[in-house]
Amino acid sequence: MTTHIGASPGDIAETVLMPGDPSRAQWAAETFLEDVSCINKVRGMLGFTGTWKGHRVSIQGSGMGMPSLSIYANELIRDFGAKTLIRIGSCGAMQDTVAIRDVILAMTASTISTPSTHIFHPLNFAPCANFELLRAAAVASEKKNVTTHIGGIYSSDVFYSEHPRLDEEMTRHGVLAVEMEAAELYAVAARYGCRALAVLTVSDHLKTGEALPSEDRERTFGDMVEIALEAAFP
């Protein structure tokens, strides 16, 4: 048990999927895992452990934003022995070539700041995904015939951006989408020598204003969860 995770030793698997929304963690666990048990309820940030095709998997909510994600990633790795952490979440597209419902595999994650930024000063550290996971996720996406984009994303530390010029420059430089957690996940995983990947579903589009209807989210997010699981256990 830690300050933020009420699990007992051995309750958490070495492979952990991390949605931001704890309700989505519950939905994913109940939909894709067998023999599921709830292993965390502290602060309402639900966590579950079960099996997928015979492999032990945990699904732990991480909250919204990099400070919250950093807490859970640190404790999962440091105190519970997690080795592979895969973020499953939504993102906003920043390119005309990326459409609603597409999946993005984040090869790199640019950011203005994260809870880890002070560690690297004055170095501009470049957080990136584990290549083994990235490659396996790409193969899984192709098998599922899911439209997938691989490249750089932007991890923002604010939800309501006040930097329209920055958005324009990121779009001009090929950044695929924006979300709020991956850069810190990649930094924490690198620090501990663990594997990390962000598998993201495009739920809205910054340029067109489109948004994924709520009734379609479950089916589309299901593709993302399956890709993450296939990547972890190819």
Give the mean pLDDT of the chain: 95
Q: For the segment 159-191, what is each residue's pLDDT rounded down to a tens digit?
A: 888 888 999 999 999 999 999 999 999 999 999
181 is in an annotated binding site: yes
Can you give the pLDDT at residue 220? Answer: 74
5 located within any domain? no
Choose among 45, 49, 39, 50: nearest CA to 6: 39
Question: How far is it, in rounded angstroms, from Cα 62 to Cα 71?
Answer: 8
51 located within any domain? yes
- Cα Rg of the chain, angstroms: 16
Model confidence pTM above 0.85: yes
Q: Helix, strand or coil for residue 101?
A: coil
Q: For the segment 17-76, what is each residue's pLDDT rounded down to a tens digit?
A: 999 999 999 999 999 999 999 999 999 999 999 999 999 999 999 999 999 999 999 999
Number of domains composing the chain: 1
Q: For the segment 126-145, what is each residue's pLDDT rounded down to a tens digit?
A: 999 999 999 999 999 999 99
8 located within any domain? no
Question: How far is it, in rounded angstroms, from Cα 103 to Cα 163?
Answer: 25
71 located within any domain? yes
Catalytic residue among 21, 35, 204, 216: 204
Average of per-residue pLDDT across 201-227: 87
Flag the least confident range among 90-94, 204-208, 214-218. Answer: 214-218
54 is in an annotated binding site: no
- What residue has token string 């000063």? 121
113 is in an annotated binding site: no
4 located within any domain? no
Tell me if residue 204 is catalytic.
yes
20 is in an annotated binding site: yes
142 located within any domain? yes
Domain range for 226:
15-232
Is the bond into 19 cis (omega within 30 degrees of 0)? no
106 located within any domain? yes
- Is the confidence at residue 121, as pLDDT, over 90? no
Classify residue 139 as exposed, middle or buried by CB count within 10 Å of its CB (0-12, 13-18, 19+).
Answer: middle
Average of per-residue pLDDT across 69-89: 98
202 located within any domain? yes
User: Which CATH number does the domain housing residue 119 bear?
Assistant: 3.40.50.1580
Strands (E), 94-219: 103-111, 148-155, 177-179, 195-205
Average of per-residue pLDDT across 72-95: 98
